[in-house]
């Protein structure tokens, strides 16, 4: 199976169109006011309609209550909910039951001690996402352009597929996939020219580099 590619934090038609044209599997839209990638409900509605089944729409929230989730879901009509805050396993189960959508849970990884939480979320989420643990000064829990020690993931075992995030760029994504054997990769700041400003050339290059890495791994395995 080829590596899943998620381009996150999309805010414009141009950046979305490039991601779709080059074959992104997932496109992410951020509903978090503190993020430079935050989109309004109207923007999400317009961009979501533009996807038109060409990729899975991912709605990203951070510790959102049910009212915000309901409004964002109504606007975007997503296929997946991405929870990027301090949501507990119990909260994830509640959200899945109420909204009837698959949930991807982001987990912050900084050291071996952070791996202990994985089984708890593996039991309730549909997908996992491993991101770098943000510095205490960071306003956003993700999209900070920081990588973590990928070797921490070498021995993990999960029942659910997982995506790698944090500091990925067109130039390092192939190496990241080779080291971790991640089921998917998620990029936001790594394809930007400034916080929240997507670079269409970098989006295309990231997808191309990821697909090239997949082809190389398949050749080695054959």
Q: Read off the pLDDT of residues 177-214 as tens digits, 9 standing for 90 and up.
A: 999 999 999 999 999 999 999 999 999 999 999 998 75
> Residue 33: what are its φ and ψ, rounded to 5°?
-60, -30
In which element (H, E) is residue 174 found?
A: helix 173-180
Backbone angles phi, psi at 5, to 5 degrees: -120, 125
Domain that holds residue 216: 4-221
Q: What average pLDDT does range 53-70 have in this prediction? A: 98
For residues 101-110, average pLDDT: 96
3-state DSSP assignment of residue 107: strand
Query: pLDDT by residue (tens digit) across 136-148?
Result: 545 555 555 678 9
Give the 3-state DSSP-derived string for 46-92, with helices as H, strands as E and coil as C: HHHHHHCCCCEEEEEECCCCHHHHHHHHHHHCCCEEEECCCCCHHHH
What pLDDT sits at residue 137?
43
Q: Are 88 and 123 in contact (CB under 8 A)?
A: no
Q: What is the mean pLDDT of residues 73-87?
A: 98
Q: What is the pLDDT of residue 154?
A: 86
* pLDDT at residue 217, as a whole number: 54
Q: For the chain, what is the domain count?
A: 1
161/45 Cα distance (integer angstroms): 28
Count of Cβ atoms closer than 10 Å to residue 219 Cβ: 8
pTM of structure: 0.92
What mean pLDDT is predicted for residues 65-70?
Answer: 98
Residue 52 binned pLDDT confidence (cut-offs 50, 70, 90) = very high
CATH of the domain at 190: 3.20.20.70
Buried b (16+ CB within 10 A) or exposed e, 184-213: bbbbbbbbbeeebebbbebbbbbbebbbeb
Q: Tokens 């973590």 — which residue?
A: 148
First to last CA, the chain: 13
């Amino acid at each position: 199976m080829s590596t899943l590619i998620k381009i996150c934090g999309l805010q414009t038609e141009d950046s979305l169109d490039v991601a779709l044209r080059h074959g992104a599997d997932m496109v992410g839209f951020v509903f978090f006011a503190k993020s430079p990638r935050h989109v309004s409900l109207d923007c999400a509605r317009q961009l979501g309609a533009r996807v038109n089944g060409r990729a899975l729409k991912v709605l990203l929230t951070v510790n959102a209550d049910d009212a915000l989730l309901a409004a964002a879901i109504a606007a975007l009509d997503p296929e997946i909910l991405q929870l990027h805050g301090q949501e507990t396993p119990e909260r994830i189960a509640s959200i899945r039951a109420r909204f009837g959508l698959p949930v991807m849970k982001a987990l912050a990884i900084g050291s071996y001690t952070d791996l202990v939480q994985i089984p708890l979320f593996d039991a309730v989420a549909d997908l996992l996402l491993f991101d770098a643990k943000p510095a205490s000064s960071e306003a956003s829990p993700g999209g900070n352009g920081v990588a973590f020690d990928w070797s921490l993931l070498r021995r993990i075992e999960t029942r659910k597929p997982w995506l790698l995030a944090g500091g990925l760029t067109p130039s390092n994504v192939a190496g990241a996939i080779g080291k971790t054997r991640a089921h998917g990769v998620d990029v936001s700041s790594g394809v930007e020219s400034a916080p929240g400003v997507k670079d269409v050339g970098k989006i295309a290059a990231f997808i191309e580099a990821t697909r090239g890495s997949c082809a190389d791994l398949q050749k080695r395995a054959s």
